[in-house]
Amino acid sequence: VVLRLICLVIGYAFGMIQTAYFYGKMKGIDIRKHGSGNAGTTNTLRVLGPKAGFTVLFGDMLKCAIAVWLVGWIFGSMYPEHLYLLKIYTAFGAILGHDFPFYMNFKGGKGIAATCGFVIAFHWSFIPMFLIVFLVLFNITHYVSLGSLAIYVGFIALLVIEGQLGLFGFADMATPDKIEMYIVAIVMTVLAFYRHRSNIVKLIKGEERKTYIFKKNKV
Ligand code: G3P
């Protein structure tokens, strides 16, 4: 339990470095008062343009990846059989830090860029699935939220497939932790859907904001 808590705290400490918020402040705005009001990559892209959006994407991915790599580096040799479980707890902590940073009155982002950083540091097998699912949906619909939620469904599916079939080799190393890994991943997915609840309502009503990378966006 203590080890899990340490991973959550390390994750939170990195996750709360809210790139969108600080980038916005540098440009003299509180990003949460513009566009969708979300302190994340998509809203920064819409409000401040592609350079700002990609900087925030990179920053949020990097902070989560660093937290996960750090935990792997500190605990990997001590607890090799629990490595992947500890990485998932760290990512969960980082997403909590990103979504609920205490110094922003707990009003942060939705955790998608941080999740992308996590899977890069977690295991390579998620990267093609994330890229394909997101890019296909985004290209067709231009709804970032739809692509974001779909990659979470893909994340759970791939984790369970790997856990049961052992296609990529990481679940074998975490045999004692499989069920707990699924549970943490499901909690992360529920959190992502909860953070996107207003997007889901808008998607159903057909009122969700479309996002374009190189065209000016409506904010
Ligand atoms: O990463 C967040 C994205 O999925 C939705 O953001 O600004 O459209 O609510 P936004």
**Atom 7 of ligand 1, nearest CA residue:** 43
Query: For position 166, what pLDDT does the model report?
Result: 84
From 112, 144, 198, mutation site for ligand 1 pocket: most ligand atoms within 8 A of C-beta: 144
pLDDT digits (tens, 9 = 90+) for 28-52: 999 999 999 999 999 999 999 999 9
Task: Give residue 186's region: left, alpha or beta (phi > 0; psi -120 to 50).
Answer: alpha
Residue 77, exposed/middle/buried by CB under 10 A (0-12, 13-18, 19+)?
Answer: exposed
Confidence of residue 59 (pLDDT cuts 50, 70, 90): very high
For residue 214, pLDDT over 90 is answered with no
Q: Is the CB of 11 under 6 A from ligand 1?
A: no
Query: For position 175, what pLDDT does the model report?
Result: 75
Contacts of residue 101, Cβ cutoff 8 Å, sequence gap at least 6: 15, 16, 18, 21, 108
Q: Is the CB of 148 under 6 A from ligand 1?
A: yes
Of 136-145, 172-181, 191-200, 202-211, where does mean pLDDT reach its minimum? Answer: 172-181
- 145, 203 Cβ separation under 8 angstroms: yes
Query: For position 168, what pLDDT does the model report?
Result: 85
Distance CA 137, CA 116 (A): 16
For residue 80, pLDDT over 90 is answered with no
Query: For position 92, what pLDDT does the model report?
Result: 98
Alpha-carbon 213 to chain mean position:
19
Residue 145, exposed/middle/buried by CB under 10 A (0-12, 13-18, 19+)?
Answer: buried
Report the amino acid identity of residue 163: G
For residue 215, pLDDT over 90 is answered with no
The ipTM estimated for the assembled molecules is: 0.94
Where do we find the tokens 């001590």? 78
Distance CA 32, CA 46 (A): 12
Query: For position 30, what pLDDT does the model report?
Result: 96
Q: Is the CB of 144 under 6 A from ligand 1?
A: yes
Distance CA 195, CA 145 (A): 10
From 43, 48, 197, mutation site for ligand 1 pocket: most ligand atoms within 8 A of C-beta: 43
Q: Is the CB of 38 under 6 A from ligand 1?
A: yes
- 56, 44 Cβ separation under 8 angstroms: yes
User: What distance in angstroms lies between residue 143's CA and the mean position of ligand 1's atoms?
Assistant: 9
In the chain, the percentage of residues whose pLDDT exceeds 70 is 100
Residue 113 Cα: closest atom of ligand 1: 1
Give the chain's mean pLDDT: 94
For residue 164, pLDDT over 80 is answered with yes
For residue 77, pLDDT over 90 is answered with no
